[in-house]
Structure 1
Amino acid sequence: MSGILAGKRVLITGVLMESSIAFHTAKLAQEQGAEVILTAFPRPTLTERIAKKLDKPVKVIELDVTNTEHLGELETVVREELGGLDGVVHSIGFAPADALGGNFLNTPFESVATAMHVSAYSLKSLTMACLPLMESGGSVVGLTFDAQFAWPHYDWMGPAKAALEATSRYIARDLGKQNVRCNLISAGPIGSMAAKSIPGFAAISGLWAERSPLEWDLTDPEPAGRGVVALLSDWFPKTTGEIIHVDGGFHAIGG
């Protein structure tokens, strides 16, 4: 099969809804020739149902990225299914309700720690769990939401994304000698499950109608998915530690 991911084997996390960037990444990856395997938590059956909308059947693995047993078993399961990996997509983020919605100054550390563990540290955990599978090198791609700004209502997910962005750079530093690249796509707002869980999401997304040079469609995750697929491919062979904005140009425009 032809395509920029022909012959590639890719693990993708975060497929929860058809509207998610992760789903469109999986769809595009298959169209571009990749073999895909999905992980899911806490409801693998939900991901299995959504996965049926992909062009080809895929295996869904239960994976809690904070669970060391799950991470320890990942290599064996993936090797049996695909033999190895060439790419990993980190599309995971979570913060407890009291870490969002204007409660920044009163959020307890326990909730902050959860947000950091799931949303940032997990990039390292997932990468290291998959590293033995990337014997000839590979590409790790994560998803962020521009952490250089303090967004309305986003609260502790902002510092968590900042930590994710820093973590990506350190992974790029430490795994470059093994030919493993690590990059992020900084996507504009999409009406996904993750977005809908953020109080005041409309206040954030409304900014794009005012400032984005390119028209931004909140209902279209495909541009971000295309960015992820491009970074998974061999077309960025010497790019690592990078954050590529797929946000209609919003990041480049002052208020």
Structure 2
Amino acid sequence: MGILEGKRILVAGVTMDSSIGFATAKVAQEQGATVLISNFGRALGITRRIAKRLPVEPPVLELDVTDEEHLGRLPDLVREHVDGLDGVVHSIAYGNPETLLGGRFLDGPWPDVAQAVQVSAYSLKSLATACRPLLTPGSGVVGLTFDATVAWPAYDWMGVAKAGLESCARYLARDLGPEGVRVNLVSAGPLRTLAAKAIPGFEELDAMWSSRSPLGWDNTDQEPTARAVCALLSDFFPATTGEIVHVDGGFHAMGA
């Protein structure tokens, strides 16, 4: 029996089968969960095709986390498939690579910065509160970050957005804790996902990990990160909230 046996999990933000969201959906199914996934817009068709590659083809919901109408109808969409949720995964981020990344920090325009913060940070609150009527005591919300405690080459305004995400998770943990809902993040090392490929200068980040991670780092393997997400959704962390679990080969703990 898997660690998520009988649990109902929504993984928001699954596009390609190289994504952390897809890997999380796969591991969750293998661990016994009933999984729903979501996307929106032009990517929705891709998600529907990719869903067929999972062990069990899951329902695909249309959800734009910046659209209040989408958020408002989410509980009803979920209830068409399951009667509640035991876990929510926030695998969502966006920053315009042409204006906000690759050394453009000093020139990043506010409209693009505002979009990055809304999509990458504020949406964790939006998603969690939209799912709140579906969550029961013991449920978990897990988001994905890239260590925002330092400034990274090329990451620029996405680093600021991730810092906002990390703070948002702590405040959500405070406010949802009395309802028995845990909120945690997983901080992964650089992975060759579709989103990472859009970052100008990603190779510079990537190169650091291969030489400095004590456990080594495979930037094509999303499963260790997915397993950590699923562990945090399970009953094995009943008293853990507001935490950031690093899945980065140990890079974050090394000084040089």
Q: Which residue of 1 aligns with 2:6?
A: 7
Pairing 1:225-236 to 2, within 5 Å after superposition: 225-236=226-237
Amino acid at match of 1:146: D
Structure 1 residue 135, shift from structure 2 partner: 3.1
The answer to whether residue 207 in structure 2 is matched with residue 215 in structure 1 is no
Q: Deviations over 1:68-97 (max 9, x none)?
A: 000001000101211110000001000112
Q: Which residue of 2 aligns with 1:58?
A: 58
Structure 1 residue 136, shift from structure 2 partner: 3.4
TM-score, normalised relative to structure 2: 0.98
Amino acid at match of 1:117: Q
Task: Count the aligned residue pairs.
Answer: 254
Structure 1 residue 229, shift from structure 2 partner: 0.4
| Structure 1 residue ranges (4+ consecutive) displaced by more than 4 angstroms after TM superposition | none
Pairing 1:125-144 to 2, within 5 Å after superposition: 125-144=126-145
Instruction: Name the CA distance, whole Å, in 1 between partners of 2:251 and 2:18.
Output: 21
What secondary structure does 1:82 align onto? coil
Q: Which residue of 1 aligns with 2:117?
A: 116
Pairing 1:34-53 to 2, within 5 Å after superposition: 34-42=33-41, 43-53=43-53
Q: Deviations over 1:93-132 (max 9, x none)?
A: 0011201111100111111100000000000000000010
Instruction: Name the CA distance, whole Å, in 1 between partners of 2:84 and 2:138.
Output: 11
Q: Which residue of 1 aligns with 2:17?
A: 18
Quote the RMSD (CA, aligned, Å). Answer: 0.8
- Any unmatched runs of 5+ in structure 2? none
Amino acid at match of 1:132: P
Amino acid at match of 1:44: L
Q: Deviations over 1:30-71 (max 9, x none)?
A: 010000000112321101111101011211011111000000
Q: Deviations over 1:204-234 (max 9, x none)?
A: 0100012100110011000000000000000
What secondary structure does 2:238 align onto? coil
Q: Which residue of 2 aligns with 1:32?
A: 31
% same residue: 61
Amino acid at match of 1:244: V
Structure 1 residue 15, shift from structure 2 partner: 1.4
- Any unmatched runs of 5+ in structure 1? none
